[in-house]
Structure 1
Amino acid sequence: MRISGGAARGITLQVPKGDAVRPATDGMRQAIFSSLGPRVVGARFLDLFAGSGAYGLEALSRGAAGGVWVEQHARTVGLLRRNITAVCRSLGRDETDLQVVAGDAVKVPWPVAEARPDLVFIDPPYPIIAEVAPAIFARLSELLGQNADALVLFELPGGLELNPAGWACVRRIGKGVRQPTVAVFRREGGPR
């Protein structure tokens, strides 16, 4: 798996072995970031269920200012830190404004109060989506308040629909029911 665009394009990311993590495909990330376009430049991100960190690292490569990754598996956290170091080295930047939180994305504090995220990437294991989505969206509602400009990008199976209270799905990125897709959410009442 590699960074697919931006200044760190081509950097190989380490991915954990086994089935604890299901990395976002290069094609899916390309589609997402193509749809986001220049909105990534200068943005802050929150990457929940981060795994290898691919979503946040792709954002950094494309000009994001910084952000936070949250991952609970200890071995994966070490690998994530190595990926961050490799991408930062390629970008010629230090790791200031970047943070890794080791813990359950539903329960641990998200250290973003000073700089609220503009982009939130959520890629949980598919079997727990129904369980975690309500809690995650409730926390995001508190965190983001009425920030109608923030986008939440939630990877899920193509056949699954989420309808979190206070949020509107403004588009779906992906190829269909049997493939992974990303639902793009905004606070209700925000621009489409």
Structure 2
Amino acid sequence: MTRIIAGFAGSLTLHVPRSGTRPTSDRVREAIFSALESRDAIEGASVVDLYAGSGALGLEAASRGAAEVALVERAKPAAEVCKRNADAVQRAARGHAAVRIRVIPRPVATYLEGAAGGIDLAFIDPPYELGEAALTRDLELLAPLLTDDAIVVVERSARSPEPAWPAGIEVDRRRDYGETTLWWAGRAPRQPVRPSQPE
């Protein structure tokens, strides 16, 4: 059983797709959100949950004060579950600050290619069988969409190699939780533009 841990929708039970997804454990979600709240990284944030599955990570952020959340999930059954869970969280939000939750039933790369940017917080929790080249492509597309203080959390198998970080994203730290590894990363500092030398 998967539940929202804290916030206005705390203890709300979430539906989980019957197959094809691997929900983040409560222990790992608690670790993620404890770290994010210590950085004051959720309140008012624009959040994307890529390979959303049930939407648990993005909806946890919504419950804790994110301003807008995009749940990106190409598999139709999982996207339908995301919609049911998002509707339940929206109902629980009555009387609290408005949060905009969108469910986007498209491939991650397609979504990122057309996204407007301004992303403060990105969760990337792909199937463990996703190839490293595909993950690298996702990160390359995500990089220019991040705000300067953005945080990127990538969840992978502990047996998977470190992601290939593209220009624009730099790794901060790694944390292991049994078979799960979290990679924390952020927007790489922008290089100052050097004034052109007079000829």
Q: If the length of structure 1 is used for normalisation, what is the TM-score?
A: 0.87
Q: Give the CA deviation at 1:6.
A: 1.6
Verify: 1:82 aligned to 2:95, yes or no: no
Hey, what does 1:28 align to over in structure 2? 28
How far apart are the structure 1 equivalents of 2:113 and 2:174?
26
Q: How many residues align?
A: 184
Segment drifting more, 56-65 vs 151-160? 151-160
How far apart are the structure 1 equivalents of 2:181 and 2:84?
27
**Secondary structure of 1:150's aligned partner:** strand
Hey, what does 1:141 align to over in structure 2? 143
Verify: 1:186 aligned to 2:189, yes or no: no
- Alpha-carbon RMSD across the aligned residues, in angstroms, is 2.0
Hey, what does 1:98 align to over in structure 2? 101
**Secondary structure of 2:172's aligned partner:** strand
Hey, what does 1:122 align to over in structure 2? 124
Contact 1:5-1:30 at 8 Å conserved across structures: no
Question: Which of 106, 111, 117 is the equivalent residue of 1:108?
Answer: 111
**Secondary structure of 2:130's aligned partner:** helix
Gaps of 5+ in 1: none
AA matched with 2:78: T
Instruction: Kindly indicate which of the two structures has a greater share of residues assigned to strand.
Output: 2
Q: Give the CA deviation at 1:46.
A: 0.7
How far apart are the structure 1 equivalents of 2:60 and 2:113?
20
Against the structure 1 CA distance between its residues 184 and 129, is the aligned structure 2 distance closer, same or farther, given a 3 Å change threshold?
farther
Moved over 4 A (4+): 93-96, 109-112
Against the structure 1 CA distance between its residues 111 and 163, is the aligned structure 2 distance closer, same or farther, given a 3 Å change threshold?
closer
Against the structure 1 CA distance between its residues 69 and 110, is the aligned structure 2 distance closer, same or farther, given a 3 Å change threshold?
farther
Hey, what does 1:17 align to over in structure 2? 18
Hey, what does 1:6 align to over in structure 2? 7
Hey, what does 1:161 align to over in structure 2? 162
How far apart are the structure 2 equivalents of 1:165 and 1:110?
16
Larger Rg computed on CA atoms: 2
How far apart are the structure 2 equivalents of 1:53 and 1:110?
21
Against the structure 1 CA distance between its residues 61 and 173, is the aligned structure 2 distance closer, same or farther, given a 3 Å change threshold?
farther
- Sequence identity (%): 35
Question: Which of 28, 34, 55 is the equivalent residue of 2:57?
Answer: 55
Q: Give the CA deviation at 1:129.
A: 4.0
How far apart are the structure 2 equivalents of 1:33 and 1:173?
13
